[in-house]
Amino acid sequence: MGFLGPNGAGKSTTMNILTGYLSPTSGSVTIDGFDIMDSPQEAKKLIGYLPELPPLYQDMTVIEYLRFISELKSVPMKQRKRQLDEILSLIKLEDMQKRLIKNLSKGYKQRVGFAQALVGNPQVLVLDEPTVGLDPKQIIEIRKLIGALRHEHTIILSTHILQEVNAVCSSVAVINKGKIAATGSVSDFTAAEGTVSKFVISVVGASARPEAQKVIESAAGVRRVDFVRVDKDAYIFNVESEKKTDVRRGVFNALSHANMAVIELRPIGRTLEEIFIDIVSNEQGTEESR
């Protein structure tokens, strides 16, 4: 699940409350039946948290630090070594395990933070902006890692980067000014913009604009055709139709019968980016609470 919002929307605060770092002034957090305030020990065992700033002891080596964490999370003695080995190889930290944390680069520190969250194999992973400040290659690696982990863990990820949600999340909650502005799956957000599907079509070979428009309108299922502009000898239109019927084949056939050629045909799905900006700017007036 992606947790999306502009800077200062309350993403980190929400995550801090979810993990029991801060107490909520109202409401409650329940993890697998355990309330984080009433039975914190049980609930916190189920969560691995990677805060915005990885919580690292600079004076320890990577392996010392991870051993400390597994003691802290009371991982059974026998499992400790095996679990840490697994995590180190998963995060690709094996070569760094004897290095002092303060001498690691930012990317590696982030990975150590990630490793820390995985210790104890928690059901829920809460990741607060896990890719901030990393270089593009590292970002892709971290995203891959999240992609690999999502099959075994419930992951809550906060970010203000939209591609990240697109890349790794199955569902999204958009928050703005401390309120949830919208929720749903990623495909809900991108595709389900009403029942209408739209595409852009560029046509050549027509002698005049109305001629091409008429031909397109004649195709079965087309609801509306809007002229956009002329580009050299091509006429460009926006075509709308019912979602359930795909009219593109019909339009193409109609045009070719009329001796006109289609040089471009491209569906318009609204990007997450546009939707996000819409939601955030529209929410100013019509706020809905949780």
Partner 1 sequence: MLTIYKREMGSYFRSPVAYCIIGFFMAVVGLMFWINSILQGSVQFSATLNAIGVYLTFIVPIITMRLLSDEKKNGTEVLLRTCPVPMWRIVIGKYMAAVSLFLVMTILTFIFPVLIAFLVEEGAVVGSAQDFGSYIGFIMLGMAYIAISLFVSSFTESQSVAAVSGIVVLLIFYFMQSIGASLGSKIGAVLQWLAPLARYQDFTVGSFNIASLIFYLTFSAMFVFLTYVNLERKRVL
Q: Work out whether 34 is an interface residue with partner 1 (CB under 8 A).
A: no
Angstrom distance (rounded) from CA 77 to CA 83: 10
Per-residue burial over 232-258, b = 16 or more CB atoms within 10 Å of its CB, e = otherwise: eebbbbebebeeeeebbebbbebbeeb
Q: Residue 2: exposed, middle, or buried by beta-carbon count in 10 A (0-12, 13-18, 19+)?
A: buried
- Residue 72 sits in the site that holds partner 1 (CB under 8 A): yes
Using rule CB under 8 A, residue 256 touches partner 1: no
238 sits in which H/E element: strand 234-242
Rg of the chain, C-alpha, whole Å? 26
Rounded to the nearest 10 degrees, the angle between the axes of helix 106-118 and helix 77-91 is 140
By the rule CB under 8 A, 58 interacts with partner 1: yes
**Sign, CA torsion 263/224/232/209:** positive
CB of residue 80 vs partner 1: minimum separation in angstroms?
Answer: 12
Binding segment for partner 1 among 43-51, 173-181, 192-200, 248-256 (CB under 8 A)? 43-51
21 interacts with partner 1 by CB under 8 A: yes
- In the bound state with partner 1, the residue whose beta carbon lies nearer, of 53 and 228, is 53
Q: Tell me the window of 22-30, 133-141, 209-217, 277-285 that interacts with partner 1 (CB under 8 A).
A: 22-30
Report the residue number, 72 or 228, with the smaller CB distance to partner 1.
72
Q: Which of 31, 69, 174, 216 binds partner 1 (CB under 8 A)?
A: 69
Structure token pair of residue 61: 């080596």
Residues that bind partner 1 (CB under 8 A): 16, 19-23, 25, 40-42, 44-45, 47, 49, 51, 53-60, 64, 68-69, 71-74, 116
